[in-house]
A and B are shown apart, each in its own frame.
Chain A
């Protein structure tokens, strides 16, 4: 039971990270109707930028951890958001009215560009960082097994929750959020009613990338390493989360993220670590076959 509780905690933390990435997938899919294949690599870039800005801040003599974290968070969100904007501008916008496969293939190309760009720019080796947030609490101690909740885990979950609150306020209460929802329903109509569709789509990518940057930073804090290849697998898993939650649905993305995080952690804990990715991918296939609309998604009407 204690072991299970510990895995539950680990799973929720991992799930928060996946959920943050999944939101980017689900938003873009909702508005543009394409799988932003490069989103996983945006997450990776976010991790790298967090790492580099962290290193700089430490070496200029800053020691107050909360200040460092806040600056790193803002810097990585800002720069990664610009990456998201640039990717959309270069690779997707010219293809918006092209045939269906074009944006998808362009996105795959962009994914290669981003991951290999960071390989070329930062080297292929794994970059480790020392633990930034240390310490934690022992929740309760069973027969020889202590259930621990580390401070990193608390930070990850709290940051995720705060960002989600800000984000849902943004989508439901602001002008931008209204524009986004309008574009999701009908782009032509939204444009006729004075919504700047191009700008709204750009902002969607910017917000998605900023959330992915947060996920990248959380990943860095939690696992203490980044490498240029981590975006691919994390991206597919987050996409699985988005599909599981019902693509296009924002609470669904978070829910799906948590579910994937839990499944992966529990699978590694009770079955085998080697096959944890196989488990996640199998879930993707099973979900798409048996409930293509996911947990909270709307059924898609087939039109001629």
Chain B
């Protein structure tokens, strides 16, 4: 590592200094391959499976093992070459001002373009059910990302159990609707309020915790909610979940083919796509509501208190900001949006089970927020698009999906720990706004 650093930092590597580089790269690749050989020798070289009589049988897969080791060897060489070409991680690259100006223009222009495009998606892709479904999925995650962004990005409280509020919202709507026949539009605010209450309930005990401890407690909280849902069979149906969740109506008019349906009332031919488009606009409006509320809140004292809390909790307390209310409102606001998204999820699926609310879901939403640059609304939306789109690309490789996701998360943290749009503009400023690259900002201990 140190040897590499020396060769890399030389401004223009002369051929003389390249020669030991080749040996170095080769040696490094050889070591990597050896390590890989040992690591994979048993895990890949041998495959075990429970046989017909319950006892384990095994067979060898030395071909796969050799292939993996070769991949590691080749990959190591490529990585090292790339590193020599690209320079060490963390180098601040000087961007020419013209490019910078173009980038700033693109950054300003991308949000409205994206918004208009999103509004037009159901029109453009009306006949492509798959794209509409994918759009709904992406928007759900955009909403979840924006919701979690309030907690993680603005208030700086690392929440690993966000899926709990999603679950609370989904189950609130599902149970209220199936047991009491309440409509989606009544349940939606109720789901949000209930989730917010749970947010406060989680928030109260963890007020004193920070950083990693907070993360692990929220994780435990998320798991507790999931375990209770799984085991409280009489209420939630346990692992079988809740089915037959009613669809949302358009001001009381259902989107069904019958004579009472919206299509019949409007005098147009019924098509199942209407419902999909309707759902698409519901989640789009919900997401935009989340975004709008967040942007407005950031201009209120409470939003500024959140940002101050993120930067330095001790200083916040010294300045007389009430830490308790600040943290609790952050948790409650984030949880409320999670609850809305959960209610929407329940009504879209028509069926929910605890399997939808695992830790992986929390990690995915958190990854979206981090990839989006923690605090940037546009970044989160783009990150959700990239992540969910990327997930869809790997749909064919079902079992490799989470593996790829994990690798992506590690690589992302190594290369861009501040997210793709690593940029944090302060909301409050003296005389003129000055954008600070978030690479330069030191995180508080929130």
A residues contacting B by CB (< 8 A) are 34-35, 45, 48-49, 51-53, 55-56, 59, 75, 79, 82-83, 86, 90-91, 94-95, 98-106, 108-130, 232, 236, 239-240, 243, 274-275, 277-278, 281-282, 284-285, 288-289, 292, 302, 304
Report whether A82 and B35 are in contact in the complex, using a CB–CB cutoff of 8 Å.
yes
Residues of B within 8 A of A277 (CB): 223, 227
User: In whole angstroms, how far apart are the Cα atoms of A113 and B312 in the complex?
Assistant: 33
Q: Determine which residue in B44, B409, B445 has the highest number of CB atoms from chain A within 10 A of its CB, and name it.
A: B409
Q: Please tell me if the beta carbons of A112 and B403 are within 8 angstroms of each other in the complex.
A: yes
Q: B52: which A residues are within 8 A, CB to CB?
A: none
Say which one of B121-129, B275-283, B358-366 lies at the interface with A: B358-366
A239 CB to closest chain B CB (Å) equals 6
Q: Which residues of B contact A49 (CB under 8 A)?
A: 42-43
Question: Do A52 and B216 contact each other (CB < 8 Å), given the known contacts A109-B413, A128-B56, A288-B209?
Answer: no
**In residues 187-239 of chain B, which contact A (Cβ within 8 Å)?**
205-206, 208-209, 211-213, 215-217, 219-221, 223-224, 227-228, 231
Query: Is the Cβ of A112 less than 8 Å from the Cβ of B58?
Result: no
Q: Can you name 13 extra interface pairs (CB under 8 A) apart from A281-B224, A292-B209?
A: A51-B48, A79-B41, A109-B409, A110-B406, A112-B409, A119-B399, A121-B47, A129-B56, A236-B219, A274-B227, A275-B228, A278-B231, A284-B220
Q: What residue in chain A is nearest B64 (Cβ atoms)?
A: A121
Task: List B contacts of A275 (CB < 8 A).
Answer: 227-228, 231
The answer to whether B407 touches A106, judged by C-beta atoms less than 8 angstroms apart, is no
| B50 contact from A34, A53, A98, A126, Cβ within 8 A | A126
> What 6 pairs between A and B have smallest CB-CB spacing?
A109-B409, A112-B406, A113-B406, A106-B413, A281-B220, A116-B403
In the complex, chain A residues whose CB is within 8 Å of the CB of B360: 112
Contact A113 B403 (CB under 8 A): yes
Chain A residues closer than 8 Å to B44, beta-carbon distance? 121
Q: Are B158 and A104 in contact (CB under 8 A)?
A: yes
- Please determine whether B221 and A285 come into contact, CB atoms closer than 8 angstroms: yes
Contact B370 A101 (CB under 8 A): yes
Cα of A100 to Cα of B313 in the assembled complex, Å: 15
Contacts of A124 in B (CB 8 A): 399
Q: Is the CB of A108 within 8 A of B89?
A: no
Q: Are A52 and B58 in contact (CB under 8 A)?
A: yes
Q: Once the chains bind, are B89 and A94 in contact (CB under 8 Å)? A: yes
B49 within 8 A of A: yes
In the bound complex, what is the Cα–Cα distance between A289 and B216 (angstroms)?
Answer: 12
Number of B positions contacting A (CB below 8 A): 65
Chain A residues, Cβ within 8 Å of B442: 99
| Cα separation A100 to B211 with both chains bound (whole Å) | 8
Asked if residues A55 and B56 are in contact (CB atoms below 8 Å), the reply is yes
Do the beta carbons of A106 and B409 come within 8 Å of each other?
Answer: yes
- The verdict on B405 contacting chain A, using a C-beta distance below 8 Å, is yes
Q: Which of B159-212 contact A (CB under 8 A)?
A: 160, 205-206, 208-209, 211-212
* Identity of the chain B residue whose Cβ is nearest the Cβ of A119 in the assembled complex: B399
Q: Determine if B98 is an interface residue (Cβ-Cβ < 8 Å).
A: no
Which residues from 19 to 61 on chain B have a C-beta closer than 8 Å to any C-beta of chain A? 35, 38-44, 46-50, 54-56, 58
For residue A106, which residues in chain B have a CB less than 8 angstroms away from its CB? 409-410, 413-414
Contact of B359 among A95, A232, A289 (CB under 8 A): A232
Q: Does B253 contact A (CB under 8 A)?
A: no
Q: Is the CB of A110 within 8 A of B231?
A: no
A-B contact pairs, 7 of them (CB 8 A): A86-B35, A108-B366, A119-B399, A126-B50, A243-B216, A281-B223, A284-B217
Q: Within 8 Å of chain A (Cβ to Cβ): is B367?
A: yes
B402 close to chain A: CB less than 8 A: yes
Assuming A110-B406, A128-B50, A289-B205, is B399 touching A274 (CB within 8 A)?
no
CB distance from B74 to the nearest CB of A (A): 17
- Let me know if B49 and A125 touch, CB within 8 A: yes
Q: Which residue of A lies closest to B46 (CB)?
A: A52
Kindly provide the distance from the CB of B97 to the nearest chain A CB, expressed in whole angstroms.
28
In the complex, which residue of chain B has the Cβ closest to the Cβ of A56? B46
Scan residues 388-407 of chain B and give those whose CB is less than 8 A from a CB of chain A.
399-400, 402-403, 405-407
Q: Please tell me which one of the listed residues A108, A129, A289 contacts residue B363 in the complex, with CB atoms under 8 A apart.
A: A108
Assess whether B403 is in contact with A120, with CB atoms less than 8 Å apart. yes
Is B423's CB within 8 Å of the partner chain A? no
- For A76, the closest partner residue in chain B by CB is B42
Q: Chain A residues with Cβ under 8 A from B216's Cβ?
A: 35, 236, 239, 243, 284, 288
Asked if B211 and A82 sit within 8 Å, CB to CB, the answer is no
| Alpha-carbon distance between A52 and B406 when the two chains are bound, in angstroms | 25
Q: Give the residues in chain A near B220, CB-CB below 8 Å.
A: 236, 240, 281-282, 284-285
Residue of A nearest to B55 (CB): A130
Task: Please name the residue on chain A nearest to B414 by beta carbon.
Answer: A94
- Enumerate chain A residues within 8 angstroms of B241, measured Cβ to Cβ: none
B295 adjacent to chain A (CB < 8 Å): no
Contact assessment for A95 and B400 in the assembled complex, using a CB-CB cutoff below 8 Å = no
The yes or no answer to B120 lying at the interface (CB within 8 A) is: no
Contact B49 A108 (CB under 8 A): no
Q: CA–CA, A125 to B189, complex, Å?
A: 42
A264 to B403, CA, bound (A): 31
Contact between chains at B38 and A79 (CB < 8 Å): yes
Question: Would you call A95 and B414 a contact (CB within 8 A)?
Answer: yes
**Which residues from A are CB-within-8-Å of B231?**
274-275, 278
Pairwise interchain contact A99-B443, C-beta atoms closer than 8 A:
yes
- Is A121 a contact partner of B409 (Cβ separation < 8 A)? no
Q: Which of A56, A103, A121 contacts B58 (CB 8 A)?
A: A56
In the bound complex, residues from chain B placing their C-beta under 8 Å from that of A123 are 47-49
Question: Is there a chain A Cβ closer than 8 Å to B261's Cβ?
Answer: no
State whether the Cβ of B264 lies closer than 8 Å to any Cβ in chain A.
no
B47 cross-chain contacts in A, Cβ below 8 A: 121-123
